[in-house]
Amino acid sequence: MSDRFPGQIVIGGQISRHSLARLIHAINADEPNGPDWHTPVQINDAQSLLDACEDGQLKLANPEALEGTFTEIESACVALDLIYVRQSNAYCEHDGETAWNDPATSDAREPWCYSRQNGTEVVDLDGLVEPVSEIKKIIDHMPIQSGMGVESLMDIHDRLRQQLEKLQHQIPVIPAVPKFEIVNKDKFGPAPYFSVEYDVNYCGGDYDGVGEIIYLSAARLKGSSPQQVFVDVTGMDDMHIVSYNVDELYGADGRVIDA
């Protein structure tokens, strides 16, 4: 049986109004409270999301979060390119931890670290001992004599840089969480895009209205269908899709790309 203990998450960044359903569904699935830890939040539309913000950020907490995490919310934030920082308390055999998502970084390191009860980050010393020791050796033995003569400054520089990268990999760089904003973005992911027309009031059959148009990255089609890409990005059921066209692709400027 999984343990439940306190966790809190702060979310920021820009989200398209077309993707609100995905985030709202995730929040309601995890059943968090507001930033006071005790008042349940009722999220059902854009305004209720903004009402749940404090100091411009979407702040949610739960004194009984499943293993201190917000599984659905964190997954949705990653999919929607939202920045978040989540902190959970130490409990029984569970250490306190801080986890985050920052779409702007390409760091291959797993984005989490241990933390104290007050949220202060804790660095694992095991990962620091080797690079610190190697840097000390390099400095203590400069210049280094070899059969080829004195080691070049470029070689020393490269060795120091390699060890510095190991140190940096162990030091958490937790992103600053920006303001949470709902915007009229209609393009998702890198170009080129395919278009999807949808209407939240459409559930199949003939259609003579004018739906919403969004542009989804064609790269997402690898191993997935247009319908599933729509569901993943928007959080809506694919029955709301009026039409889509994967044969006509658009560039970042919104213009059709010539075949």
Question: How high is the pLDDT of residue 196?
Answer: 97
Sign, Cα dihedral of 151, 157, 161, 163: positive
- Smallest Cα–Cα separation from 76: which of 21, 22, 32? 22
Tens of pLDDT along 163-201?
877 776 777 778 899 999 999 989 998 999 999 999 999
Domain map of the chain by residue range? 4-122+173-180, 126-170, 186-250
- Cβ neighbours around 55 below 10 Å, total: 10
Tens of pLDDT along 244-259?
999 999 999 889 998 6
Beta bridge partners of 101: 84
| pLDDT confidence bin for 148, thresholds 50/70/90 | very low
